[in-house]
Amino acid sequence: MTGDSTASFQPYPVRHLGDPAEAKEELRRAIRARRAARTPRQRADAATAFADVLQTVPEVRDAATVAFYAARSTEPGTHVLLERLAAHGARVLLPVLGSGLARDWAEYAAGEEMRERAPGRPPEPGGPALGAGAVAEADVVIVPALAVDTAGRRLGQGGGWYDRVLTLVPDGVTTIAMVFPDEVYDADERPLPTQAHDLPVQAVATTLGWRRLGPDTTAERVAERLDAAPTAR
Ligand SMILES: Nc1nc2c(c(=O)[nH]1)N(C=O)[C@@H](CNc1ccc(C(=O)N[C@@H](CCC(=O)O)C(=O)O)cc1)CN2
Ligand SMILES: Nc1ncnc2c1ncn2[C@@H]1O[C@H](COP(=O)(O)OP(=O)(O)OP(=O)(O)O)[C@@H](O)[C@H]1O
């Protein structure tokens, strides 16, 4: 899968050569506006498609513990996969926001009705808070994003919540961003603006499919590596 078929409709900041924080804000505004325009029916269909796609990712299929998120109405929907994971006996950790957006996690209980603590905030599970370090127990981490590029750069909501969480994810654990198909950017043509604290994700899932990301995952670069490798005789 690629974002190529929709690339010409993608918003891209005109100020991308200037201050990355400003470029990020400009892009966030444009992407949030596009998300707000989706109908309830489109959102419901997307939530099922995201679940179908993510269940084909080996790390998700095999995970005993998944760090996931509870989507707000305009975000890529998570409730379908959340119920399926819980039904299969996976342990699912969801973000809990402390004061000043402090990072914490709690376990999702199957069938649980989650509540928004304040308007506009993501819904949260009611179980006991497990501490910020609980994310290190996850076998796979599925994160929200507004956009991702093919090198793994991620644009989030701007709170830095996930940037800080990603520092606690052990090496070797796959992080997967969920975005709509037109929110996957080509890293060569339209790299997302980044700052020093931004950490990359290893994969992206859309409603159409999923792929691994990063400098070494494009077909051309894999071919180059194979060419450069010593051949066995
Ligand atoms: N679903 C979801 N959960 C997530 C994130 C996310 O991007 N999506 N986060 C990613 O970092 C973290 C926190 N994200 C937050 C997102 C918004 C607000 C918030 O206060 N929003 C405004 C309303 C904005 C609106 O209506 O659009 C508010 O309550 O005033 C707080 C935390 C952890 N959980
Ligand atoms: N590891 C970190 N330690 C301290 N502050 C951080 C860290 N990462 C990010 N921040 C702060 O968070 C702010 C927002 O970061 P950024 O714009 O990259 O958020 P984002 O990745 O889009 O949002 P989110 O991670 O919440 O989805 C930054 O200005 C930065 O000051």
CATH number at residue 37: 3.40.50.10420
What's the whole-model pTM score? Answer: 0.90
Q: Is the CB of 161 under 6 A from ligand 1?
A: yes
Do the domain assignments include residue 188? yes
Type of residue at 46: A
Do the domain assignments include residue 233? no
Q: Which residue would you say has higher pLDDT here, 201 or 221?
A: 201
Nearest-CA residue for ligand 1 atom 18 is 121
Give the percent of the chain with pLDDT over 90: 79
Do the domain assignments include residue 228? no
Task: Enter the tokens of residue 67.
Answer: 């760090």
Do the domain assignments include residue 232? no
Give the helix/strand (H/E) hosting 48: helix 40-54
CA of residue 120 to ligand 1 center, whole Å: 7
What does the pLDDT read at residue 15?
63
pLDDT tens digit string along 147-160? 999 999 999 999 99
Give the percent of the chain with pLDDT over 70: 88
Nearest to 38 by CA among 210, 207, 180: 180
pLDDT tens digit string along 171-215? 999 999 999 999 999 999 999 999 999 999 999 999 999 999 987
Cβ density class 90-110: b for 16+ within 10 Å, e for less: bbbbbbbbeeeeebbbbbbee
Give the residue numbers spanning the domain of 62: 5-223
What does the pLDDT read at residue 34?
97
Do the domain assignments include residue 165? yes
Q: Which residue would you say has higher pLDDT here, 28 or 119?
A: 28
Do the domain assignments include residue 29? yes
Number of domains in the chain: 1
Q: Do residues 140 and 91 touch, judged by C-beta distance below 8 A?
A: no
Residue with tokens 């109908």: 39
Q: What is the band of 4 on the pLDDT scale with cuts at 50, 70, 90?
A: very low
What does the pLDDT read at residue 120?
87
Among 19, 197, 198, 199, residue to substitute to test ligand 2 (most atoms within 8 Å of Cβ): 197
Nearest ligand to the CA of 154 is 2
Q: Is the CB of 98 under 6 A from ligand 1?
A: no
Closest atom of ligand 1 to 71 CA is 1
Q: Is the CB of 25 under 6 A from ligand 2?
A: no
